[in-house]
Structure 1
Amino acid sequence: MKQLLKKLTHGKRRTGAAPSALAFPDAAAAENYLKALAPIPTGTIQADNRITPQYDLHIIVPCYNVARTIVRCVDSILSQKTGYTFFVSLVNDGSTDKTPELLERYRADPRVEILTQSNRGLSGARNRALEHIRGKYILFVDSDDTLCKGAVEALLSKAVETNADIVQGSFVNITGHGLVFGRTGYREGSAAETGQTPYGMAWGKVIRSSIFAHLKFPEGYWFEDTIFAFCIAPFRPAHYLIPAYVYNYTRNPLGITLRSRKKAKAVDTVWIMRYLMADLAQKKEVHSAQVQQLLLQHIALAWYRLSHLDETVQQAAFLVMQQMYAAYYAPQDICVQDSRLLALHQALAAKNYGQYLAAAENLA
């Protein structure tokens, strides 16, 4: 996801020299400062979703004020040629434009349900459909994106062939004007065997529905797709990658990736990471090389997301993340082998802000 973020935001911000002294005496003061800027959301990942898998695939499309793109999106789904059965949930999340009117044209299709609710955000819209999962697998599609031809067949045929928990396909990056500006392709094989690191977004993959039996997206947080790193990956699902292009991802100037720049709400990158690590700790899943690596990578990603904000915010975030990291890993707890991850571990262990800036930038 880091490389994609760089493409979307036109490169990373270079840091200057670290200040000789931090603006806060301790992590508690830093946390109070951040909470005043961006209160900690109260959303939870705990769920009790009902699963009745009468279809091979349940496709979930959150819809909020997307009159310009929703027809193209839904048509790309319903026109899929496949021998597999699928069901589509179109969730009208309190739209105030013509989205509801456009959704109505699909009501007569027996493969489609239209759910309507007051605005709850992207997570809340996805969660509404997850309350009753009707497929053996789930596919999330964002309403400004489209499926490539043959996407459902390619993803599900590989899922059936390999009995994978997740099958993820390659994707095309498209501007809001429909121009291709990049492609992200995978080599075929399991993520573990090929050594590829799959991107952590919700879309572009089919996911075994049982994974979401007791899991939902935390409402109120930005960066809600972080659950794929902290709530799914640590439990080692069978994750298979295919080279087929299955998804057209549209660069959205109003999306979180771009909208979060210089927004205090970007501090959610710290809050969601801390919340999900605490959940992992309760499940006694933190002491592994995989989780330590994930946490270090997301600390670097948090630095990147906050690097356009005021220096004081960045210092406060460092202190809060350093305290969080130290709660799980002592200086001698080194499970990672990558020298860049090791440098970040050492910076956090030493509580050295200057070293942290250099190490995080080297990773992000």
Structure 2
Amino acid sequence: HDVLNKFENIENIHIIEQKNKGFSGARNTGIDYATGRYLMFLDSDDEMLPNGINALLDRAYEYDADIVEGGFRYIYPNGNYSNNPSSNEIKEISMPLGILEGFFWAKVYKREMFDGIRLPEGYWFEDSLNLHILFWRSKKSIIIPELVYGYYKNENGITHTSKKKLKSIDSLYITESLIKDHLKMGFDITLDYYEYFLRMVRLTYFRTREMDEEVRNSIFLCQCHLYESYFSSFSTGVREMVKLESSLKTQNYKTYVYCLELQ
């Protein structure tokens, strides 16, 4: 708090205090108060790399882009790091699904992308909003070669600890909720969207693999229901997903576990 107070008299900085509402609650409040043309999200334990903000905004204004994504650096507890560029050149894309990364960080968004949209509060894995809604709203997205974001690998973070907690089932809940929102907003169910759903089925499996067998089986049955309700007319074009697709189609739990444990 004392650190923040040092900035309270700077004209374009606004300090907002609220009870802890998690990542989504903080981001939603930021969206509510934002007045600029573009938004950017920075997690509290990460950092922007030198010139990262300028690199993103320069391309955003140059291309009048809805979303701009840069590369990032994983920073490990021992001080080592690995670089993960998004591209070796500037690329303009019309449909970011399957190209842009699903996380909120390392990007800037036009503020109007969030008109009528807020992140689901009280859930983990809320960045699924990108792949279900925001990427579908984008008419022009840009990926740039510059590294803009430093992501600190934290062994105590949600990514590493969630598998042991019942709340990891949020991965299923938020998928189901956002599929319904996707349709309410008038977006189509396409083959690309179906391939994303299969990836989410796989990801949810690994997020919940340490749950009791009864819970894991129930999650599988819910996934089968989602497949039957929204995606049964599609066939995957990804060889590694064929057996997973078959397990959902036939509601074969053993095949589901077997094919995912082999990946």
Asked whether the two chains share a fold, i.e. TM above 0.5, the reply is: yes
1:134: Cα distance to partner?
Answer: 1.2
Question: 1:267 aligns to what SS in structure 2?
Answer: helix
Cα deviation code 1:310-337 (max 9, x no counterpart):
222211110111112211122xx12531
Cα deviation code 1:150-174 (max 9, x no counterpart):
1122111111222221110000001
1:103: Cα distance to partner?
Answer: 1.4
Whether the 8 Å CA contact 1:234–1:290 is kept in 2: the answer is no
Please identify which structure carries the higher strand content. 1
Query: Taking structure 1 as reference, are residues 358 and 185 closer, same or farther at Cα in structure 2, changes over 3 Å only?
Result: farther
Whether the 8 Å CA contact 1:304–1:361 is kept in 2: the answer is no
Once the two structures are superposed, the pairs formed by residues 325-340 of structure 1 within 5 Å of their partners are: 325-330=227-232, 333-340=233-240
Question: 1:113 aligns to what SS in structure 2?
Answer: coil
Query: Taking structure 1 as reference, are residues 362 and 109 closer, same or farther at Cα in structure 2, changes over 3 Å only?
Result: farther
Amino acid paired to 2:61: V
Amino acid paired to 2:175: M
Cα deviation code 1:112-154 (max 9, x no counterpart):
1110011211111111111122111111011111111111221
Amino acid paired to 1:238: K
Query: In 2, distance between residues paired with 1:280 and 1:194?
Result: 15
Which of 84, 88, 101 is matched with 1:199 structurally?
101
Query: Taking structure 1 as reference, are residues 261 and 241 closer, same or farther at Cα in structure 2, changes over 3 Å only?
Result: same
Query: In 2, distance between residues paired with 1:328 and 1:125?
Result: 32
Structure 2 residue 255 is the aligned partner of structure 1 residue 355: yes
Query: Taking structure 1 as reference, are residues 293 and 196 closer, same or farther at Cα in structure 2, changes over 3 Å only?
Result: closer
Cα deviation code 1:167-201 (max 9, x no counterpart):
10000001245x13322112121356999732211
Where does residue 279 of structure 1 map in the other structure?
A: 181
Where does residue 298 of structure 1 map in the other structure?
A: 200
Query: In 2, distance between residues paired with 1:114 and 1:176?
Result: 30
Query: In 1, distance between residues paired with 2:149 and 2:187?
Result: 32
Which of 173, 188, 192 is matched with 2:74 structurally?
173
Where does residue 216 of structure 1 map in the other structure?
A: 118
Whether the 8 Å CA contact 2:56–2:108 is kept in 1: the answer is yes
Whether the 8 Å CA contact 2:48–2:148 is kept in 1: the answer is yes
Where does residue 3 of structure 2 map in the other structure?
A: 102
Cα deviation code 1:246-292 (max 9, x no counterpart):
00011223321112121011010010001101112323434211211
Whether the 8 Å CA contact 2:224–2:251 is kept in 1: the answer is yes
Where does residue 49 of structure 2 map in the other structure?
A: 148
Query: In 2, distance between residues paired with 1:281 and 1:341?
Result: 24
Whether the 8 Å CA contact 1:138–1:208 is kept in 2: the answer is yes
Please identify which structure carries the higher helix content. 2
Query: Taking structure 1 as reference, are residues 201 and 112 closer, same or farther at Cα in structure 2, changes over 3 Å only?
Result: same
Query: Taking structure 1 as reference, are residues 236 and 137 closer, same or farther at Cα in structure 2, changes over 3 Å only?
Result: closer
Question: 1:317 aligns to what SS in structure 2?
Answer: helix
Cα deviation code 1:336-356 (max 9, x no counterpart):
311223332222111111222
Query: Taking structure 1 as reference, are residues 343 and 283 closer, same or farther at Cα in structure 2, changes over 3 Å only?
Result: farther
Where does residue 308 of structure 1 map in the other structure?
A: 210
Question: 1:246 aligns to what SS in structure 2?
Answer: strand
In the superposition, the TM-score normalised over structure 1's length comes to: 0.67
Amino acid paired to 1:134: T
Whether the 8 Å CA contact 1:172–1:180 is kept in 2: the answer is no
Question: 2:143 aligns to what SS in structure 1?
Answer: strand
Mark the runs of 5 or more structure 2 residues left unpaired by the alignment. none
Amino acid paired to 2:257: L
In the superposition, the TM-score normalised over structure 2's length comes to: 0.91
Which of 52, 57, 60 is matched with 1:159 structurally?
60
Question: 2:16 aligns to what SS in structure 1?
Answer: strand
Bigger radius of gyration: 1
Where does residue 120 of structure 1 map in the other structure?
A: 21
Question: 1:242 aligns to what SS in structure 2?
Answer: strand
